[in-house]
Amino acid sequence: METTTEALSADVLVIGFGKGGKTAAHALAEAGRRVVLVERSAHMYGGTCPNVGCVPSKMLVHYSNAKRLEDEAREYFAKSVAGVRALTSAFRAGNLEAMNGHETATVITGEASFVDEHTVTVGAGEDRITVTAPTILINTGSEPVIPAIPGLAESSHLVSSTDLIENDRLPASLVIVGGGYLGLEFASIYRHFGAEVTVLEAADRLLPREDEDIALAATEILAGDGIRILTGVRVTGVSDNEDTATVSYEKDGRTLTVDGHALLPATGRRPVTDHLNLQAAGVRTTARGAIEVDEHLRTSRPHIYALGDVNGGEQFTYVSFDDARVVLDQLLGEGKLQRTVTDRVAVPHTLFITPPLATVGLKETQARAEGRKIKVSREKVADIVAMPRAYTVEETRGVWKFIVDADTDLVLGAALLTIDAQEIINTVALAMRHGITATQLRDSIYTHPSSTEGLNEVFDKVLPE
């Protein structure tokens, strides 16, 4: 039987509907460019964040913290997931409608595969579409890695973060392999919903990249919420029982086990490139499978760019958004701003446990290792007199910590384990980017009662050397 193939041409082809790709596609379409955007899943219009990542997981954080003692755990959880589904469905539809609303933009649903450096095919057989463009943007994101633990991949109790977000049945117990951002966020969420949670971490302590005092404070909060935390362990195998999975691990020379109704591997993510047939386009990848890019996000083919997680950079939505700015400077601004990925200064991060931990810049250990002359300001949230908001919302756990250059008074770094940390850290990062001193932050006027006004006090709490 003869197969017909539809052929499209565009000024710009965008592969992947993530934050960077859709931001660039919108701007290019607004500028009158003919844009074709290919997304392989109708469930992912808008990318990971609004569908199975940031938005639904943080909504679950909100719901889990709003749970009352009288709420029946499983019923409350099911209602919470229904609320998440309603929001993500609305966001997904809105993203598609906004893109299709451009006269010069077309969205195609299907898997793209390169034929040559200017051409991809989408779909197969009678549904196959060929798209050709002089400029191509790749924004296919990342996917969870399942570690090579015997029995893990075959376990019927294996779940992904997407499964946990979309399944409305609350597991009685959850075992999480990995104590990074993803693992700890889901540990906190599911513990507050009422599940028994165990975290298995290979490092000797949680959050090994943070200063020890901050990591210890976060660990104490998580443990205080009833999360069982086991560090310095090596998971050796998984075996299924009727209702649970048994996870075997080694610690201090002993072999031990823990059972869970659900098992989440949270040991990292990898770029999604396998289906792209990049070799046909002559696009090089790194040893870790990420697309190799320069400071302007150009690949080994200068007309092909890679944005977001797929290029091996930091895996955050707001970094993908900034990737779009870098690329648009090349495509629309003709490089006038000379934007590059090296322009990024003081990029903050937030771990959405309860309360959240937000960080930016240097750790104390890093600053001292670099031989910097520093002052360290640190205070427990419960002791910050100038921050009554912590008491008004009944969340006084945590600590604020700042690293300040002793000679210039500039803030070098911050770690905020506190209510509203995800907001305060943006003010601190902005100050760091623009040379605002610790004294100026301390002496500024902030609204009351707010968390930001804690800045009025904490910079005076300098730790002795």
Name 129's bridge partners: 6, 122
**What end-to-end distance do the CA atoms of the chain give, in Å?**
81
Sheet holding 112-116, edge to edge: 6-9, 129-132, 119-122, 112-116
Query: Where is pLDDT greater, at 308 or 334?
Result: 308
Query: pLDDT tens digit string along 116-132?
Result: 999 999 987 778 999 99
Per-residue pLDDT, 5: 66
Quote the pLDDT of residue 461: 86
Check: CB of residue 171 under 8 Å from CB of residue 156.
no
- What is the rounded distance in angstroms from the CA atom of residue 386 to the CA atom of residue 455? 8
Q: What is the mean pLDDT of residues 193-197?
A: 97
What class is the 7-143+270-343 domain? Answer: alpha beta
Average confidence score pLDDT of the chain: 95
- Six-digit token string for 168: 């409305």
Take residue 246 and report the two structure tokens written for it: 């048994």
Binding residues: 58, 140-142, 178-185, 201, 268, 309
pLDDT at residue 2 tops 60: no
pLDDT for residue 417 is more than 90? yes
Looking at the annotation, which residues are catalytic? 448
305 CB-near residues (< 8 Å, 6+ apart): 135, 136, 137, 138, 293, 296, 297, 298, 299, 327, 330
In the CATH scheme, what architecture does the domain 349-458 have? 2-Layer Sandwich (3.30)
By CB atoms closer than 10 A (0-12, 13-18, 19+), residue 429 is buried
Q: Which amino acid, 434?
A: H
Beta pairing, strands 357-361 & 411-417: antiparallel
7-143+270-343 and 349-458 share one CATH topology? no
Q: Which residue, among 409, 406, 427, 407, has the nearest Cα to 418 in the 3D structure?
A: 427
Specify whether the CB–CB gap between 155 and 260 falls below 8 A.
no
Query: What confidence category does residue 1 fall into, taking pLDDT thresholds of 50, 70 and 90?
Result: very low
Q: Binding site for NAD(+): which residues? A: 178-185, 201, 268
Residue 136 has pLDDT above 90, yes or no: yes
pLDDT value at residue 123: 86
Give residues with Cβ within 8 angstroms of 281, minimum separation 6.
Answer: 114, 116, 117, 136, 301, 304
Residue 28 tokens read as 């290019």
Residue ranges of domains in the chain: 7-143+270-343, 161-267, 349-458
DSSP 8-state symbol, 162: H
Report the CATH number of the 161-267 domain.
3.50.50.60
Q: What residue numbers does the annotated binding site for FAD cover?
A: 58, 140-142, 309
Q: Which DSSP category does 174 fall into?
A: E
